């Protein structure tokens, strides 16, 4: 039945109809496995994973398969988004065994959790065969299984990045060192198609954030061209939803045209921040439009009545993977029947034979609307207006289809990324609605996810918070709160950021390496306690933490924060050149350590207005603080004027002469 309402996916609950006796990860399952001497079968997936659904239908719904699993294994089902700590360990095992990985991830482990085999998707016959082989080995060659588990667990521990022990203190990181990082990153950039070379292509926002910052600090045009080319190509490609806004998770090809159709909150939160920064720098209205459309997608499809944001949209519907987003030529022309209909059909590369599969078309463009209209001798204004109307008509028609299911769990770290996206969008555009949405989500996180002692929960579902939070939850929430403070000057959010950071220092910090574990010190039932150092699609939690400590050290004048940030950077500095795109967030931090930063203090009755005007500019090395009627931070002392508003541009607590005009402050900064 076709409906305009999306299905709702509740991870793990979606397996409730399986004939398999699934357990959640925890003491009950592990103790049962030890008591009955049965191996653990740990199946890890997530709600919008296509092949997870395929394997569930083929194998986990089959009674013959269930009989083998129930009689011989303790079966644990894990949502990797709720428990990335578990996923990280067993994905490492899979990669060590096979050199690759993916989801669904199916791992076999001893009753104590030590893995001895792991793989990904299996067809029904292959899965039954594997189950029987594992069972035979566990019973008849148990000594070999135990040795494999010990060796594999040791490999997971040793696979962790080698970190120097002891306090290395701070290091001198020069502008020449910073340039070498750019040279290393630039070699990996696809300067024609955008993004990193090869396929599949992931947006990798941290790489482009570094390129924008590098251009700002050095004036290097190659860096700006590489970043803007990537942003433009992504926004024109099929990875972007031209009818409904927002980005899919990645492109399966090197041209950004064929997406993996799932749409994730974290991607869109990070990309909204990225396009906001690009708009600040370039004032390109195309980026502003992508930003606005992506926010509209989040508000329409991923916003809960509680004020939180849902996690994702599935890639699949009952009609098939991606079909929801594709168009046959005739149906597209029927909707797009304006005077410029033929031009718009050409703009989106819609053809009778289809540009995808089964005569269907994925919408993508080769030029921006302005470039295309000029190429076709059209006035840009009327063409862009017609294009906007067509998009609206397409969305209306598409909403009549069976919609992809929504994963309604609300994850703290991902919400914080979207909160920061709203705050960055407000800074770039001045749209007060964006600030209001950011504050609303911050209040949701404070009320529902944060304890009085600065602790956090990771997941909110069915009106209840659950699962102790991980490092990424702490650092992203702290980062979003410092960003919210900078655009609002409400010290409450800065105070909460400090509380979260102090809790993380007490519960996640490793004094030997100077870095942070991903799991808290009281985490149980994990065979390995790991650290997240390198970036993936989401920047590394340790890199974000180093940035948060850098900011808090300045805001509160706390040398301990600053020293810890410097030490973290020094630990990673010598490793960044090797795989620089996967250390891009650290590379961004290198810009601050090599060039320094500004503390911008705005005090007086018009502090909010002048802050708003100032932050419309791209100023990635500035930290903003201020107030209208009181002094509440060390750097604000003795700076509140009687009857005017003053802007102080400071470096290392030494301030230039205050000015009243934003333009004059910009001159001092630049």
Do the domain assignments include residue 629? yes
Do the domain assignments include residue 164? no
- Quick one: 31 and 138 in the same domain? yes
Do the domain assignments include residue 170? no
- Quick one: 328 and 300 in the same domain? no
Backbone dihedral region for residue 566 (phi beyond 0: left; psi -120 to 50: alpha; all else: beta): alpha
Query: Rg of the chain's alpha carbons, rounded to an integer?
Result: 26
Task: Spell out the residues 6+ positions from residue 156 whose beta carbon is closer than 8 angstroms to its own.
Answer: 89, 92, 93, 96, 115, 527, 528, 530
- Tally the domains of the chain: 4
One-character DSSP codes across 547-604: HHHHHHHHHHT-HHHHHHHHHHHHHHHTTTTTTGGGGHHHHHHHHHHHH--EEEEEES
Domain carrying residue 154: 8-159
Distances (CA, A) of 309 to 248, 267, 297, 413, 660: 17, 13, 12, 11, 39
For the CA atoms of 16, 21, 27, 32, the dihedral, rounded to the nearest 10 degrees, stands at 170
Do the domain assignments include residue 620? yes
- Quick one: 590 and 602 in the same domain? no
One-character DSSP codes across 497-511: HHHHHHHHHHHHB-T
- Give percent of the chain above pLDDT 90: 80
Under the banding of pLDDT at 50, 70 and 90, the label for residue 164 is low
- Quick one: 548 and 651 in the same domain? no
- Quick one: 138 and 233 in the same domain? no
- Residue where one domain finishes, among candidates 572, 595, 618: 595
- Residue where one domain finishes, among candidates 373, 401, 429: 401
- Quick one: 378 and 351 in the same domain? yes
C-alpha span between 309 and 416 (Å, rounded)? 9
Chain segment 372-421, per-residue pLDDT in tens: 999 999 999 999 999 999 999 999 999 999 999 999 999 999 999 999 99
Do the domain assignments include residue 165? no
Chain segment 608-619, per-residue pLDDT in tens: 999 999 999 999
- Quick one: 33 and 140 in the same domain? yes
Which of these ranges, 170-174, 211-215, 407-411, 424-428, has the smallest mean pLDDT? Answer: 170-174
The structure's pTM equals 0.91
Task: Spell out the residues 6+ positions from residue 655 whose beta carbon is closer than 8 angstroms to its own.
Answer: 599, 601, 648, 649
Looking at residue 660, its pLDDT comes to: 95
Do the domain assignments include residue 199? yes
User: Which of 108, 84, 24 lies closest to 517, judged by CA?
Assistant: 84
- Quick one: 581 and 492 in the same domain? yes
Question: Does residue 484 carry a pLDDT above 70?
Answer: yes
- Quick one: 307 and 453 in the same domain? yes
CATH of the domain at 230: 1.50.10.10
Under the banding of pLDDT at 50, 70 and 90, the label for residue 12 is very low
- Residue where one domain finishes, among candidates 401, 424, 456: 401
Average pLDDT value for the chain: 92
Looking at residue 581, its pLDDT comes to: 93
Q: Kindly report the three-state secondary structure assignment for every residue of 208-241.
A: HHHHHHHHHHHCCHHHHHHHHHHHHHHHHCCCEC
Looking at residue 9, its pLDDT comes to: 36
- Residues paired with 74 in a beta bridge: 40
**Average pLDDT rounded to a whole number, residues 292-299:** 98
Chain segment 64-122, per-residue pLDDT in tens: 999 999 999 999 999 999 998 899 899 989 989 888 888 899 999 999 999 999 999 99
- Quick one: 572 and 475 in the same domain? yes
Question: Does residue 166 carry a pLDDT above 70?
Answer: no
Do the domain assignments include residue 339? yes
Looking at residue 34, its pLDDT comes to: 93
- Quick one: 361 and 295 in the same domain? no
CATH of the domain at 95: 3.40.30.10
Chain segment 143-157, per-residue pLDDT in tens: 999 999 999 988 888
- Quick one: 257 and 331 in the same domain? no
Do the domain assignments include residue 169? no
């Amino acid at each position: 039945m076709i409906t305009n309402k999306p299905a709702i996916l509740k991870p793990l609950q979606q397996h409730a109809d399986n004939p398999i006796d699934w357990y959640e990860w925890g003491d009950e399952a592990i103790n049962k496995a030890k008591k009955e001497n049965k191996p653990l079968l740990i199946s890890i997936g997530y709600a919008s994973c296509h092949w997870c659904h395929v394997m569930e239908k083929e194998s986990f719904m089959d009674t013959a398969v269930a009989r083998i699993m129930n009689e011989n294994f303790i079966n644990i089902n894990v949502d990797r988004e709720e428990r990335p700590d578990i996923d990280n360990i067993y994905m490492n095992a899979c990669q060590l065994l096979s050199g690759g990985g993916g989801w669904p991830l199916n791992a076999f482990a001893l009753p104590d959790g030590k893995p001895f085999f792991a793989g990904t998707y299996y067809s029904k016959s292959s899965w039954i065969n594997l189950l029987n082989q594992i069972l035979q080995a566990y019973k008849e060659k148990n000594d070999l299984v135990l040795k494999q588990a010990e060796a594999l667990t040791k490999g997971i521990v040793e696979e962790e990045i080698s970190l120097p022990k002891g306090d290395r203190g701070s290091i001198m990181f020069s502008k020449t060192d910073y340039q070498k990082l750019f040279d290393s990153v630039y070699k990996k950039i696809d300067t024609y198609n955008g993004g990193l070379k090869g396929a599949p292509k992931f947006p990798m926002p941290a790489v482009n954030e570094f390129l924008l910052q590098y251009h700002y600090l050095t004036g290097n045009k190659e860096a700006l061209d590489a970043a803007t080319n990537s942003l433009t190509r992504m926004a024109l490609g099929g990875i972007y939803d031209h009818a409904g806004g927002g980005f899919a998770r990645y492109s399966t090809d090197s041209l950004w045209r064929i997406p993996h159709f799932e749409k994730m909150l974290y991607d869109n939160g990070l990309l909204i921040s990225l396009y906001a920064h690009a708009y600040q720098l370039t004032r390109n209205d195309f980026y502003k439009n992508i930003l606005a459309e992506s926010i509209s997608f989040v508000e329409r499809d991923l916003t809960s009545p509680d004020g939180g944001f849902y996690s994702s949209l599935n890639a699949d519907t009952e009609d098939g993977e991606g079909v929801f987003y594709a168009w046959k030529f005739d149906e597209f022309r029927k909707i797009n029947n304006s005077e410029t209909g033929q031009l718009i059909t050409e703009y989106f590369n819609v053809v009778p034979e289809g540009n995808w599969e089964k005569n269907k078309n994925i919408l993508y463009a080769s030029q921006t609307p302005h470039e295309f209209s000029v190429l076709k001798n059209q006035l840009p204004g009327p063409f862009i207006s017609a294009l906007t109307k067509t998009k609206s008509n397409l969305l209306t028609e598409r909403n009549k289809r069976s919609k992809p299911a929504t994963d309604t769990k609300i994850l703290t770290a991902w919400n914080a990324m979207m909160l920061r996206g709203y705050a960055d969008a407000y800074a770039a555009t001045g749209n007060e609605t964006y600030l209001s949405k950011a504050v609303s989500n911050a209040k949701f996180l404070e009320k529902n996810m944060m304890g009085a002692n600065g602790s956090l929960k990771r997941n909110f579902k069915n009106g209840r918070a659950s699962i102790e939070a991980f490092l990424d939850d702490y650092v992203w929430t702290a980062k979003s709160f410092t960003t919210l403070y900078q655009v609002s000057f409400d010290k409450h959010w800065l105070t909460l950021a400090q509380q979260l950071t102090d809790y993380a220092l007490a519960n996640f910090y490793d004094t030997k390496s100077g870095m942070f574990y991903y799991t808290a010190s009281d985490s149980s039932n994990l065979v390995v306690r790991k650290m997240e150092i390198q970036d993936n699609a989401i920047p590394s939690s340790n890199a974000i933490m180093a940035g948060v400590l850098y900011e808090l050290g300045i805001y509160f004048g706390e040398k301990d924060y600053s020293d810890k940030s410097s030490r973290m950077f020094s630990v990673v500095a010598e490793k960044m050149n090797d795989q620089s795109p996967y250390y891009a967030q650290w590379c961004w931090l290198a810009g601050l350590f090599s060039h320094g930063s500004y503390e911008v203090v705005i005090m007086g009755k018009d502090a909010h207005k002048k802050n708003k005007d100032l932050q419309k500019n791209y100023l990635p090395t500035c930290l903003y603080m201020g107030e209208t009627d009181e002094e509440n931070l060390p750097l604000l002392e003795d700076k509140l004027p009687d009857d005017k508003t003053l802007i102080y541009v400071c470096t290392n607590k030494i301030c230039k002469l205050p000015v009243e005009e934003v333009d004059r402050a910009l001159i001092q900064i630049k």
